[in-house]
Amino acid sequence: MQSQSAHPSSASVSSGVEPASLASSYRRVRARTERLCEPLAVEDYVLQTAVETSPPKWHLAHMSWFFETFLLRSFLPGYRVFHPRYEYLFNSYYEQTETGFWPRPERGLLSRPTVAEVYDYRCHVDAGMERLLAEVALAERPEVRERLEIGLNHEQQHQELLVTDIKYNLAYNPLRPAYRADLPASAPGGPAPLRFLRFDGGIVELGQGPEEGFGYDNERPRHQALLAPYRLADRLATNADYLAFVEDGGYRNPALWLADGWAAVQGQGWRAPLYWLPPDETDSDDWQEMTLGGARALHPAEPVCHVSYFEADAYARWSGKRLPTEAEWETAARAAPVRGNFVDAGRLHPAPAAPDDSDLPRQLFGDCWEWTASAYLAYPGYRAPAGALGEYNGKFMSGQMVLRGGSCATPEGHARATYRNFFYPGERWQFKGIRLAEDDR
C-alpha cells in the first residue's frame, strides 16, 4: 500500500501544541524520514515491486509536495516552486488540485528526477517552511497551524509506508537482502498463555472529542454505541498459534473462508502469511520469516503479522472465536496507556508479549495493526470536508476494513485509541495481526 490510508483528511482537531513546538516538530519529523532512508543503496530508492507499494524516492518527494502544495504555495508570499512538473509527478490522487497525477502503478518507472534531485527538492521545501514558520504567526493563523499539523501527521504516515514498502521491495529479491543486519532479535521462548478479559459492554462513547487533540475527520464525531458484554484476548495471536492453523490444513479448508478469501487463497497460491518461508524454500528444516533484518527462524512467541483480513477471519473461525468490532477494540483501548513497540524502539518487527497479570489487554498499541470485523464507514453525523484536502477519507469509505492500534513501523506519538486505519481485505504487506474476541455468554 500504498493504501488510501496513507493520506490525511483536512478536517482535524488542533492539538493545542505551541507554535514553537510545531516548528521543532517539523524539523524532527523531516529528519526522521531521511534517517529511515540512510541504510538504502541508491538502487533501492527507485524500486516498486507491487502496485500497493511506492519507491522510497517517491515517498520523499510526495511528502515535500504536500508541504509545498498546501502550505508554501498558499501562505508564503513570493514562494517559487522547485519544479513546475513535480505537482503532477508527486501528487498522489488529489483531483481538486487540477494538475492530475502520474499513475500510481508506474511510480517505479521514473528514473528521473534522480535521488539527489529529490533530496534537493526536500531542502528547497524545508528552506521555504523555515521562512514560513519564521514569518507567519501561527497563533494568529489557525488555518496555517491546522495544515501544518496535518502535514506532520501525513509525513509520519509515510514514514510507516517507507518501512513497509522497503520490506516488500527487498523481500521480492531472491537474495533476501537485509535493510539493516543489526536489528535486534527476540530472546528464545514460547508464547505466553492466552487469556480472555471480560468487558461489560453497555452504552459506550466512541470517536474523538474536541478536547482530545489532533485527529482526522474519520475519527469524528464522538457518538454513542450499544455493546453487548464481550471478551477480548489479552495478547495478539502468535506465530505458534497461527502455525497450528497452517499445519491443521487451514489453507486447504474452504469451510473456514469467506468466498472472496477462498478465491484469493486459490488464485494467489496462499499457503501461509506473507514473508513466511516454508522449509522447502530454504536450507532450514523449519519455517523461516523474512524480516527487515533478513531471513530468520520463525519465532513462536512473536505476533503473527502480514496477514490479510481474510486470513485473520479464517483463523478466528478455526479457533472458535471471532474478530473484535472496532467499537469493542476502542472501548478496551481507552483504558490502556498508549505505549508499545513502535518504530522508535528500533526493532522494526513485532515483539513477544511481555508478562503482565493486569486486567488490561497487552500489545494494544504497536507491534501489529489489528484487524477488526468492522467495515470502514462513516460515523453517524460525519460530513466530508470541502476542498482538495478533504478528498481523502469520505470518498474511500467503501470496500475496506478497519484496523486499530499501530505497528512496529508506526512512529511513537502517532497512535491513539480513536485512530482508524483501513485497508482492502486482501492486502497483506503492512504489519497486520490478529486479536481474538468472543461473546460473553
Same domain, 245 and 163: no
Question: What confidence score (pLDDT) does residue 18 get?
Answer: 59
Question: What confidence score (pLDDT) does residue 98 get?
Answer: 67
Q: Considering the entire predicted model, what is its pTM?
A: 0.94
Residue 183 placed within a domain:
no
| Number of domains within the chain | 2
Question: What confidence score (pLDDT) does residue 282 get?
Answer: 85
Question: What confidence score (pLDDT) does residue 13 get?
Answer: 42
Count of alpha carbons within 13 angstroms of residue 104, beta-carbon side: 13
Closest CA to 50 of 154, 141, 196, 171: 171
Residue 360 placed within a domain:
yes
Same domain, 247 and 362: yes
Count of alpha carbons within 13 angstroms of residue 297, beta-carbon side: 11
Same domain, 273 and 414: yes
- CATH code, domain with 9: 1.20.120
Residue 190 placed within a domain:
no
Question: What confidence score (pLDDT) does residue 96 get?
Answer: 65
Closest CA to 129 of 89, 87, 70, 86: 70
- CATH code, domain with 295: 3.90.1580.10
Question: What confidence score (pLDDT) does residue 19 get?
Answer: 62
- My answer on whether omega of the bond before 221 falls inside 30° of 0, hence cis, is yes
Same domain, 253 and 402: yes
Same domain, 360 and 406: yes
Same domain, 214 and 151: no
Question: What confidence score (pLDDT) does residue 424 get?
Answer: 97
Residuewise pLDDT in 10s, the chain (441 residues): 333 334 333 344 444 455 678 889 999 999 999 999 999 999 999 999 999 999 999 999 999 999 999 999 999 999 999 999 999 999 987 766 667 889 999 999 999 999 999 999 999 999 999 999 999 888 789 999 989 999 999 999 999 999 999 999 999 999 999 999 999 999 999 999 999 999 999 999 999 988 888 999 999 999 999 999 999 999 999 999 999 999 999 999 999 999 999 999 999 999 999 999 999 888 888 999 999 999 999 999 999 999 999 999 999 999 999 999 999 999 999 999 999 999 999 999 999 999 887 889 999 999 999 999 999 999 999 988 776 666 666 778 999 999 999 999 999 999 999 999 999 999 999 999 999 999 998
Residue 180 placed within a domain:
no
C-alpha cell at 194: 492466552
Same domain, 158 and 62: yes
Distance (Å, whole) CA 350 – CA 124: 36
Residue 177 placed within a domain:
no
Domain that residue 116 falls in: 4-171
- Looking up cell 508478562 gives 355
